[in-house]
Structure 1
Amino acid sequence: MLNFFAVSVPTLLSFALASFLIELTPGPNMTYLALVSASDGRKVGFATVAGITLGLAIIGLLAAFGVAELVQASRLAYDGLRWAGVLFLLYLAWDGWRQGEITVAAPKHEGLVRYFWRGLVTNILNPKAAVFYVAVLPTFLDATRSPLPQTILLSFVYVAVATIVHTLIVVLAGALEPMLNDPQREKIARRALSALLALVAIWFGWSTTR
């Protein structure tokens, strides 16, 4: 059987497909990316994607060394991350809603860095990402091989697939930005997406209860 480093090619492909289908499921990342890309343009969306990518990579590395499993095993740590994530998403929804009324001028570089950090923090505080690495990824590991290189490789594949999906969301949502140049339309779209993000935050809190 063909192998790609520590993982067989069929396993690699099936894992990539599973990752793709999981990333197509609506969630906080998808909703927030649509909000910022449609309202503020693709540059802001890509900065957010960069933060999300780094966050997923960090969690993947932590999972490879067993830290994510400890979080999954600790009710206190899991719930702490879960509620911090919910509150942060609600803050992002409120901030998006508020910007419909208040426009704060900021240097472009500063704005991009801010959205990068928001993407990073959103995923660091997402216990579902840790659960994916602990509950889903191990099912694709070959028990006859060393788990560490397999976990690192599959984590890289997942991050790559997620980044591709997120980039496509930015491109598609960013196409709406020229249509929202009218302040009134932009305000309506931003508030609608902000309200959707708030609903996603509530759903996120409910769906991650255990």
Structure 2
Amino acid sequence: MPELPNLASFLLTALVLEITPGPNMAWLALLTATAGRVAGLAAVAGITLGLAVQAFLAALGVASAIAAWPELYTVLHLAGVGFLVWLAWESWRDAGNPAHHLPGGGETGSDGFNRGLISNLLNPKAAVFFVTVLPGFLTESADVSEALVLSAVYLAVATAVHGTIVGLAGGLRGSLADPAVSVRMHRVQAASLLAVAVWLFWRG
């Protein structure tokens, strides 16, 4: 088990990282506001599963290969950017579809889950976090189980933050009953996703 000071420090670090605005936060807020809490919570489940897979692979050493092999990191990074661009295009396209402005926004729980899962499986920065930042909080005699405990702490923090975002954004649904407002929200979501994709591409 991690030592208490290390655990407390890691908990604080994870919280700071998760409350920093990023792709998951913006996307979750917009998705929940347009499609409802069910789709938002499903997306949270997908995000959590994607991060859990990343953590498990890191424990097995795969993330080390990503960090050591720039070409692999670049491929995953570009795939993630491309996925965000595709989501932006889809949201812009849906703005012109009347079905997406009815209650539920034309989205389903499985849509949110799949997007959350894929976007985090294609997030190389998450893998690098588990192999570069997390080890700094391990004890000298740490084994795989200790790394997994810290990974579980990070997943719990991320899920709590994402769930809070869904809860807050869900309160905006009432204002989206007007189809015209929903159309604008889809346009905003598309522009936001595209902006995030450009930002991620620029950050490298």
With the length of structure 1 as denominator, give the TM-score of the two structures.
Answer: 0.91
1:180 aligns with 2:171: no
SS of the equivalent of 1:7 reads coil
Report the equivalent of 1:117.
Answer: 114
Rounded Cα–Cα distance in structure 1 between residues aligned with 2:2 and 2:98: 50
* Paired residues of 2:92 and 2:190 also in contact (CA < 8 A): yes
Deviation at 1:104, TM superposition (A): 4.7
Once the two structures are superposed, residues 9-60 of structure 1 have per-residue CA deviations (whole angstroms, 9 ceiling, x without a partner) of 2211111110010011111111110111010111000000000000000000
* Paired residues of 2:47 and 2:119 also in contact (CA < 8 A): yes
Report the equivalent of 1:206.
Answer: 202
Rounded Cα–Cα distance in structure 2 between residues aligned with 1:103 and 1:21: 39
Once the two structures are superposed, residues 143-189 of structure 1 have per-residue CA deviations (whole angstroms, 9 ceiling, x without a partner) of 1x233111100000001100000001111111111111100011112
Report the equivalent of 1:78.
Answer: 73
* Paired residues of 2:39 and 2:111 also in contact (CA < 8 A): no
- Which residue identity lines up with residue 149 of structure 2 in the other structure? L
Rounded Cα–Cα distance in structure 2 between residues aligned with 1:68 and 1:84: 16
* Paired residues of 1:35 and 1:194 also in contact (CA < 8 A): no
- Which residue identity lines up with residue 116 of structure 2 in the other structure? G
1:45 aligns with 2:40: yes
Gaps of 5+ in 2: none
Rounded Cα–Cα distance in structure 2 between residues aligned with 1:199 and 1:17: 28
Once the two structures are superposed, residues 56-75 of structure 1 have per-residue CA deviations (whole angstroms, 9 ceiling, x without a partner) of 00000100110111111111
* Paired residues of 1:36 and 1:45 also in contact (CA < 8 A): yes
1:89 to 84, 92, 115: 84
* Paired residues of 1:78 and 1:127 also in contact (CA < 8 A): yes
Percent identity over the alignment? 47
* Paired residues of 2:37 and 2:166 also in contact (CA < 8 A): yes
1:23 to 10, 14, 18: 18
With the length of structure 2 as denominator, give the TM-score of the two structures.
Answer: 0.93
Rounded Cα–Cα distance in structure 1 between residues aligned with 2:80 and 2:146: 29
Report the equivalent of 2:142.
Answer: 146
2:193 to 165, 182, 197: 197
Rounded Cα–Cα distance in structure 2 between residues aligned with 1:47 and 1:132: 24
Bigger drift between 23-32 and 159-168 goes to 23-32
Report the equivalent of 1:3.
Answer: none
Rounded Cα–Cα distance in structure 2 between residues aligned with 1:154 and 1:104: 43
Deviation at 1:204, TM superposition (A): 1.1
Task: Return structure 1 stretches of 4+ with deviation > 2 angstroms.
Answer: none
